[in-house]
């Protein structure tokens, strides 16, 4: 059973989109890869495009025009906030930067573009009629966003101060990884999904996994600047990789098993990086 959502608690990532030099081409790529239906939300006279992607009529992500033609194609993560102006001030007070102050996006909501102290970009979202991703954790939808950084303690302090996130370090046999949590999130989810806690016991999930909202990975500074990444759920990791390559993508990391997941990282034809993951608890 796929549950649909209508909004998120304060401080929980709620939406992803990608800005691309050629959004029409990118929409064709992702539409074919994930069987998304994409519809341009911008009026005909507008200079750019914003293709809303749906699965079975429910919003999952979007593909839009790049605001800066020189900017590389990338995926972006939005965090739901109840008061975007107050949160933007908290970002600055905690040592981050508000690159673009809160502004209205028609009647969809209000957004702001921010950087954490290490320069990793993220976005704030105060909802209007757009209530975030309606389907997550299902095949061909977004699962999690994760932060790669060479300064995890700075990141944990910053995001904890701004959003109230907590973290548990977990050992997956590789580098250092933290599960990011928003306390109380699981209780909210369980109201619409009474079987949530039973499934977590069945899957032998780590403690507090019901509150998980993302991941933090420690990376060496030589691996590049700190950045937020996104992961999509798929039914067949190897099949998706093969299909993506056939559509012009390149493989950053080939399929591999990580615990109960099989993951791979891809770069789309215009350069945006994303990860795909098949979860198999058995």
Residue 192's closest CA among 128, 151, 141, 136?
Answer: 136
In a domain, 133, yes or no: yes
Range of the domain at 106: 13-279
Q: How many residues does the chain have?
A: 282
Residue 272's closest CA among 26, 48, 24?
Answer: 26
| Domain CATH code at residue 165 | 3.10.180.10
In a domain, 181, yes or no: yes
In a domain, 8, yes or no: no
Per-residue pLDDT of 61-73, as tens digits, reads 999 998 887 889 9
Predicted confidence (pLDDT) at residue 1 exceeds the cutoff of 60: no
Residue 233: φ, ψ to 5°: -80, 140
CA–CA distance, 41 with 145 (Å, rounded to integer) = 24
In a domain, 220, yes or no: yes
Residue 58's closest CA among 144, 143, 145, 130?
Answer: 130
What is the domain count for the chain? Answer: 1
In a domain, 185, yes or no: yes
pTM greater than the 0.75 cutoff: yes
In a domain, 4, yes or no: no
Residue 24: φ, ψ to 5°: -65, -45
Per-residue pLDDT of 84-138, as tens digits, reads 999 999 999 999 999 999 999 999 999 999 999 999 999 999 999 999 999 999 9
């Amino acid at each position: 059973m796929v549950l649909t959502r209508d909004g998120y608690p304060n401080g929980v990532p709620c939406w992803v989109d990608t800005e691309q030099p050629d959004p029409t081409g990118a929409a064709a790529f992702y539409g074919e890869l994930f069987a998304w239906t994409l519809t341009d939300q911008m009026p005909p006279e507008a200079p750019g495009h914003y293709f809303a992607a749906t699965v079975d009529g429910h919003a999952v992500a979007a593909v839009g025009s790049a605001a800066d033609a020189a900017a590389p194609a990338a995926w972006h993560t939005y965090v739901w906030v109840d008061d975007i102006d107050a949160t933007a001030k908290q970002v600055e007070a905690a040592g981050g930067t508000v690159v673009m102050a809160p502004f209205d996006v028609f009647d969809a909501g209000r957004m702001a573009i921010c950087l954490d102290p290490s320069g990793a970009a993220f976005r704030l979202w105060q909802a209007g009629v757009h209530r975030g991703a309606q389907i997550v954790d299902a095949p061909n939808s977004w699962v999690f966003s994760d932060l790669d950084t060479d300064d995890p303690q700075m990141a944990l302090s910053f995001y904890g101060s701004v959003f109230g996130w907590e973290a548990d370090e977990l050992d997956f046999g590789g580098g250092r990884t933290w599960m990011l949590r928003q306390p109380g999130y699981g209780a909210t989810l369980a109201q619409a999904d009474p079987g949530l806690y039973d499934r977590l016991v069945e899957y032998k999930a780590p403690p507090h996994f019901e509150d998980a909202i993302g991941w933090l990975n420690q990376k060496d500074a030589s691996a590049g600047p700190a950045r937020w990444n996104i992961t999509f759920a798929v039914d067949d990791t190897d099949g998706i990789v093969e299909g993506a390559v056939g559509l012009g993508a390149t493989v950053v990391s080939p399929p591999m098993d990580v615990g109960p997941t099989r993951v791979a990282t891809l770069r789309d034809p215009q350069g945006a990086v994303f990860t795909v993951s098949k979860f198999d608890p058995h």
